[in-house]
Structure 1
Amino acid sequence: MFQQYTKEFAYNLRLAYPVILGMLGHTFVAFADNIMVGQLGTAELAAVSLGNSFVFIAMSLGIGFSTAITPLVAEADGAGDQMAGKSALKHGLVLCTLLGISLFGIILLCKPIMHHMDQPPEVVELAIPYLELVAFSLIPLIMFQAFKQFSEGLSQTKYPMFATILANVVNITLNYLLIFGSFGFPKLGIVGAALGTLVARIIMVLFIWFLLKRRQKFEIYVTRFNFRKIEKKVIRKIIGLGFPSAMQMFFEVAIFTAAIWLSGVLGKNAQAANQIALNLSSMTFMVGMGLSVAAMVRVGNQKGLQNFSELRRIAKSIFLLTFLLEVVFAALFFIGRHWLPTIYLDVDDITNQMDNTEVIFIAAKLLMVAAFFQISDGVQVVVLGALRGLQDVKIPTLITFIAYWLIGFPVSYYFGLFTDLKSTGIWIGLLLGLTASAVMLYIRFNYLSRKLINN
């Protein structure tokens, strides 16, 4: 019985691994920023965490919205309709660019909120200039997402990976030069980290367009756009899929952002520990995200072919693969919970020794909870990908809202601020929200796929 699922593992991983590496690339930008900034002190690390908390919310809306392009391109590819695929990219690119500009503007308007969030004053002062530059980098990032989702819709997952690898090399090089003022460059601290991120994201969008344009197979899709001819029908379809997808990602990212803010109320060390555990968890989450894209593409293809029993079998094979991989990550987090936080801090720094010791102690407890929610988090995002492949987005949006904001957040808020569990209590709420989401989304997929087969 298992063989009907395990025989798909190799193809699923082949499709997913470039996406995983590309997504890890996005996270590695934050990882590199955190490690380099962590050498400056815990206040600087907490400031990057606070600044990124605003950017992550906006980024979740942009990335979530752009996922609407993938199932439309995958369905067009399954049906052999090139012009429908090109139309999905053109209209998606227009909408993603407008969304990126709008999100940048909204973040600038929200900046003063930082002063009213009970965050440490030195952290807010450091965070504001960092936030301004990283917010601007959202425009090229969300434009890149349009090309990335298009490329993945055609099952060509390598090109976004190449662009992200290049962006990482640029980001890490500029970080080294500008954070610490190496080789005669100005020493800009965390503003240097923000500049590195901005330049890397501009290069990333230009490079993926250059890569796709050079391939004869894709040239017809990515050149000679007629932007004067915009079809309301296609715009409505992308918004109809993209807006609920954006809200799904927003509800999840927003609860993790709330965890950052709640940790800030507990103090800079709790916030720095939260940032370490969050950054490590987000790296393993990218494996789930990569497999989620594989689920979206393969389910979208089978939907185009109208082969619903095969659609269900393929989706279940991806769910099983994700579950097995996440169990491995859970074990690694549990075993390495005391050592992993030390990567982020200068443990030999005598001046900050007490702060660093406390951060490592708190982060180790958070990683124990994170070990358990690896499994829930991976499963829920992959089932969500399969549902997007079916172009079912409205009910899953309601499910994610209930799971994170009616179940997860109240627990995080109460346990974090009103019990002795503090930071650990915040993460127990995250675990409950993710588990509820995984269970309810799987029930939804099971119901829909059975219904399609029976019809």
Structure 2
Amino acid sequence: MGPHHQQSRTFVGNIQYQSDDQGRDWLQARLKRHLSELIRLAAPSMTSRLGMLALGFVDTVMVGRYATSELAWLSLANRSVISFLLVVGIGLLMGVVVYTASAFGRDDERECGRIWRRSMPYALWIGGGMLALSLPAHIWMDWLASDPVIAEESAKLVVILGLGLPAHLIFFCCTGFLEGIRRPMIPMVALIVGNGVNVVLNYSLVYGHFGAPEMGAAGSALTSTLVRWILAALLLAYLWYSPSMERFGLRISHGQSWKDWARQRTIGYASAVSIGAEVGAFAGLAVIAEKLGAFILAGQEIVFNVMTVPFMVSVGIGSATAVRVGISHGRGDPADTGLAGWTGLGASIVFLSLAAVFVFLFPEWLFALHSDDMRLAAITVPAIMFIAYVTVFDGGQSVVSMALRGLGETWWPTAIQAVAYLMLMLPLSWYLAVDMDRGLIGLLEATLIASIFSVVAQSVRFWWLTGREKAFENKPSQKDEA
């Protein structure tokens, strides 16, 4: 080699290497670590999300087998009012996960504790407001439902379910803190207990077993409320009394003013608008389905109950991705931050593709879990097959959204999801399901189009944000998480 030879260089992210081999070694090592950490964090997180989903899944299955009409009432109550209120509240608290993960990445355990202490009264305040909004349910149902019987019965269920909203937000706040400090196993264990209680109470109160009154859908709603309060109590007891939590100073006043943590709430505001726009749009789908009749409404509940299973797994992956992105971003490592996000999206695509194949191959079995009504099957089974196409994109957009939250992004994912689900999906749903008379399939076609737009647009945003950051070192950081 002559003295004027130029040594080959390569870049990973924005980090410069002296050789291609060095860059590949860095990438392989980091990718392996991200995958192992993602699995370690996501496995209990996914289990927790599936545990939460299982509560509603059991409700739908037991009420569906009890009576198709009562399933339609429960569907409208949950999809049009309760789910919307719940996810807006959860969105407002999303900053708990992001800020706790970032503080934990900086090894600032006391700040983690302050985040939880200041967020708990906030969660209670939000939960009380959501409860207050659910109490005049007869007004909302009269506006939303054209059938007076469906409106009246759904309103009763909204009131019962609304009593559990404060508890659910307390549980979410505690879960967000525990996931941020990489203790996702605790919510998972609590949900295992909660699901056992849920099955027994549902079986008792829906069908009238073990000496309990036969309450149908109302029994299922009452069960949901009771289980939510049990879950909140379990996590509060753990955080307050566990010796392992003492180092976070959870019993010490946070000592901060309202303005001191405005940035955390700003993330929550944006998340609430973003998630609220998406779920509000899906609530609109329930309203459109009700216009098409009780069978379409009940069929839609079964379809979305099936679709929510892989979606909740993607939410678990997304939550773990947000933690990984938040930790890398908190360390000031831009290349690793980008790799954390893309690893999460890639893992979700692999899993969701497998789930889509399963759904496509076994739609009759999935329907049979929920009902033995053959008239309902004729509407629902083809729709279950179609959601195999929706699953990958719907779950993928939620993972990218959480990766953006891990970066501290606020309004961009909000705007993208608002455009996708409010401005695109809802008008398309009416056109395809009602004007084109495609019924339940038309609602799902509109969902697919909106989800494709959302995942593509948010991926471009994440790529641009991580790609524009400048590295401050000429070699990869040797610091690794414990």
- Equivalent residue for 1:200? 227
Aligned equivalent of 1:31, options 32, 57, 69 = 57
Structure 1's 369 and 6: CA in aligned 2 closer, same or farther, altered over 3 A?
Answer: farther
Structure 1 position 406 matched with structure 2 position 423: yes
Q: Please, what is the CA RMSD of the aligned residues?
A: 1.8
Structure 1 residue ranges without an equivalent (≥5): 348-355
What are the within-5 Å matches in structure 2 for residues 120-269 of structure 1? 120-221=147-248, 223-226=250-253, 229-269=255-295
In 2: Cα distance, 1:290 partner to 1:43 partner: 33
Structure 1's 234 and 169: CA in aligned 2 closer, same or farther, altered over 3 A?
Answer: farther
- Equivalent residue for 1:424? 441
Structure 2 residue ranges without an equivalent (≥5): 1-23, 473-482
CA contact (8 A) 1:309 1:453 kept: no
Quote the offset at 1:407 in angstroms.
1.6
- Give, as a single letter, the amino acid of the residue that structure 2 aligns with 1:45: L
CA contact (8 A) 2:116 2:250 kept: no
Quote the offset at 1:436 in angstroms.
0.5
CA contact (8 A) 2:114 2:250 kept: no
Aligned equivalent of 1:335, options 361, 366, 371 = 361
- Equivalent residue for 2:401? 384
Structure 1 position 300 matched with structure 2 position 326: yes
Quote the offset at 1:211 in angstroms.
2.2
- Equivalent residue for 1:452? 469
Superimposed CA distance per residue, residues 158-200 of structure 1 (whole angstroms, 9 cap, x where no aligned partner)? 1111112211111211111111121212222222111211111
In 1: Cα distance, 2:178 partner to 2:232 partner: 13
Aligned equivalent of 2:317, options 291, 300, 314 = 291
In 2: Cα distance, 1:312 partner to 1:387 partner: 10
CA contact (8 A) 1:259 1:412 kept: yes
Bigger fraction of residues in helix? 1
CA contact (8 A) 1:92 1:238 kept: no
CA contact (8 A) 2:326 2:407 kept: yes
- Equivalent residue for 2:343? 317
Corresponding residue pairs, total: 445
In 2: Cα distance, 1:406 partner to 1:6 partner: 40
Superimposed CA distance per residue, residues 291-336 of structure 1 (whole angstroms, 9 cap, x where no aligned partner)? 1011110111111111111111122111111111111111111111
Aligned equivalent of 1:271, options 297, 318, 334 = 297
In 1: Cα distance, 2:253 partner to 2:63 partner: 44
- Equivalent residue for 1:98? 125
CA contact (8 A) 2:333 2:471 kept: no
CA contact (8 A) 1:255 1:430 kept: no
CA contact (8 A) 1:291 1:318 kept: yes
State which drifts further: 381-390 or 445-454: 445-454
In 1: Cα distance, 2:216 partner to 2:362 partner: 30
CA contact (8 A) 1:70 1:153 kept: yes
Structure 1's 226 and 5: CA in aligned 2 closer, same or farther, altered over 3 A?
Answer: closer
CA contact (8 A) 1:323 1:375 kept: yes
In 2: Cα distance, 1:223 partner to 1:86 partner: 5
TM-score for the superposition, normalised by structure 2 = 0.89
Larger radius of gyration: 2
Superimposed CA distance per residue, residues 235-261 of structure 1 (whole angstroms, 9 cap, x where no aligned partner)? 412221101011111111112211111
- Equivalent residue for 1:281? 307
Structure 1 position 375 matched with structure 2 position 392: yes
TM-score for the superposition, normalised by structure 1 = 0.94
Structure 1 position 75 matched with structure 2 position 102: yes
Superimposed CA distance per residue, residues 31-73 of structure 1 (whole angstroms, 9 cap, x where no aligned partner)? 1111111122111000110111210000111112222101111
In 1: Cα distance, 2:450 partner to 2:220 partner: 32
Quote the offset at 1:121 in angstroms.
2.9
Aligned equivalent of 2:144, options 109, 117, 120 = 117
- Give, as a single letter, the amino acid of the residue that structure 2 aligns with 1:49: S
CA contact (8 A) 2:334 2:471 kept: no
CA contact (8 A) 1:178 1:185 kept: yes
CA contact (8 A) 2:114 2:249 kept: no
- Equivalent residue for 1:50? 76
SS of 2:135's partner is helix
In 2: Cα distance, 1:173 partner to 1:222 partner: 37
In 2: Cα distance, 1:219 partner to 1:61 partner: 31
Structure 1's 231 and 127: CA in aligned 2 closer, same or farther, altered over 3 A?
Answer: same
SS of 1:392's partner is coil
In 2: Cα distance, 1:263 partner to 1:137 partner: 26
Any runs of at least 4 consecutive aligned residues in structure 1 with deviations exceeding 4 A, and if so which?
1-4
Quote the offset at 1:394 in angstroms.
1.1
